[in-house]
Amino acid sequence: MINLVVLPIIVPLFIGTVLLLFRKSLLAQRALGLFGAAATLVVSLILLAKVATDGIQVVTLGSWAAPYGISLVSDMLSILLVTTASLLTLLVLWYSVYSLGEKRELSFFYPATLFMLTGINGAFTTGDIFNLFVFFEVFLMASYVLIALGGERIQLRESMKYIIVNVVAAALFVITIGYLYSITGTLNMADLAVKLGDIGSMGVISTVAIMFLVVFGIKAGIFPLYFWLPGSYYAPPLPVLALFGALLTKVGIYSITRVYTLIFTTDVVFTHDMLMMLAIATILFGSIGALAYMDVKKIIIYNIVIAVGVILFGVATFNEVAVTGSVLYLIHDMLVKALLFLMIGVLIFITGKTNLREMGGLIRHYPVLGWTYLVAVFALAGIPPLSGFAGKILILQGGLEGGFNWQSIVVALSTMVVLLSAIRIFIYAFWGTEKSFNSPPRASYVKRMVPVVILFALTMGYGVFIEVLMPLFQAAGTQLMDSSIYIDAVLGGEK
């Protein structure tokens, strides 16, 4: 019998492979693409229930026990991210049916998206640091197809930069894994935690920890390694941008969180202070970018960078309150970023513009889009009782308890920057003087809005019913801060 832990990886991989056989059938591409994402979501929800009731789930592939076999581990953080990624992929694929265009849909969009989901879910689930590299490469190969989808000049230019950056990061990743293996003789993350804990604090281990921070920081988009992100994310079609903005940087954040709470915990004064410094710098420079542009896509893209800094600030404080808040805020950011990019896609579809100065007065004609966008911005900024509030409050509480007072003030002030930058879109596009535009067919607008409204309802529900979900996030925070739970689950045998 196939273990549940494997299914969120196998299902999109299998359906994506089948889709390659029906390359010229638009109906098959759409139907199987949506089915693959929906099936992945279903098995992820079943696995989430299993982890919530029975604890961490582990499967070790092959005939060797951990740490010699390849372990897949589904703890609460992992399965929350897998479930959210599967949900967002399903909704973005639904949106894409009405917005991407048939030519792009038939250019391997659906299989590439499912292969990307395979790599993302694998990265969230693997218990082996070399296989983390393997799954990185899986979703990156798929993202290379997606970023160039359509073959426009800006896409080709930015895809080359994106590929070069990730090739360099991949080489550094392998080198860093080699250094780590030479020190410990293992690549299983639970075993690494045990062996590095026995070795204690050493300069070479701290150096390897910083090398991993650079590798994963490139993926996450932390300062100063986010230089590639605004241009590369700006280039692809909006559905692809929504996937990238909601999912790809989160794999980097997850990887930093995993290794800095499980493996590299013997010299936190150095490693976590370095992470803290970079997180604050990421917030500051992301804020500058978000306020500097009048392009709707660039504004939300730079808000991705701000959120990266806020989440990693919570991880760097290295206490359970802040880490729990970071997990809560991470899921919130995935939901709300996907929602905002899909809304921006509808806005661009209506106006044909991305510059705010060329928009205005849309609230009179599209009140549902306008008012839902405004509420989504309040959620993005963390206005109570919406989804960003609880996570940010816990992050700030943990920061103050850890003695990071001025850093916590920076995080709190970033809320105002986020609100000011994103609400400009509402003021200019919806509440300003009405500008002329070619109104699209109403039916096309409604079709795009259906998945948007569903995601809006889920995002709002995430904030309103957070008390119901809170035990899941508390479990994630506890498991991250008490590494013995993870280690015992993996090295103590399969569950």
Q: How confident is the model at residue 495 (pLDDT cuts 50, 70, 90)?
A: very low
First-to-last alpha carbon distance for the chain, in angstroms, is 14
- If you average pLDDT over residues 208-230, what whole number do you get? 92
Mean pLDDT over residues 395-408, rounded? 94
**Structure confidence at residue 376 (pLDDT):** 94
pLDDT digit string (tens) for 241-259? 999 999 999 999 999 999 9
DSSP state of 363: G
pLDDT of residue 197: 84
Roughly what angle, to the nearest 10 degrees, separates helices 367-381 and 405-425?
A: 170
**pTM for the full model?**
0.93
Residue range 248-274: mean pLDDT, rounded = 93
Spatial separation of the C-alpha atoms in residues 472 and 478, rounded to whole Å: 10
pLDDT at 195 > cutoff 50: yes
Q: Answer for the pair 28, 22: CB distance below 8 angstroms, yes or no.
A: yes
Q: What residues does each domain of the chain span?
A: 4-492
- Alpha-carbon gap, residue 444 to 189, rounded angstroms: 48
Task: Look up residue 426 and give its amino acid.
Answer: F
Unique residue bearing structure tokens 């479930």:
83
pLDDT over 80 at 190, yes or no:
yes
**Which residue bears the tokens 């998206």?**
113
Query: Is residue 494 over pLDDT 70?
Result: no
Q: What is the pLDDT of residue 2?
A: 63
Mean pLDDT of 463-472: 92
Q: What's the whole-number mean pLDDT along residues 206-228?
A: 92
Mean pLDDT of 87-107: 93
Structure confidence by residue, pLDDT tens digits, 127-160: 999 999 999 999 999 999 999 887 677 778 888 8
pLDDT of residue 1: 46
The pLDDT score that the predictor gives to residue 78 is 96
Min mean pLDDT across 343-347, 440-444, 482-486 is at 440-444
Percent of the chain's residues with pLDDT above 70? 99
Is 218 a residue whose pLDDT tops 80?
yes
Task: Give the phi and the psi of residue 185 in degrees, each rounded to 5.
Answer: 75, 20
Report residue 493's pLDDT band, with 50, 70 and 90 as the boundaries: very low
Mean pLDDT of the chain: 91
Q: What is the mean pLDDT of residues 366-388?
A: 91
pLDDT level of residue 56 (50, 70, 90 thresholds): very high
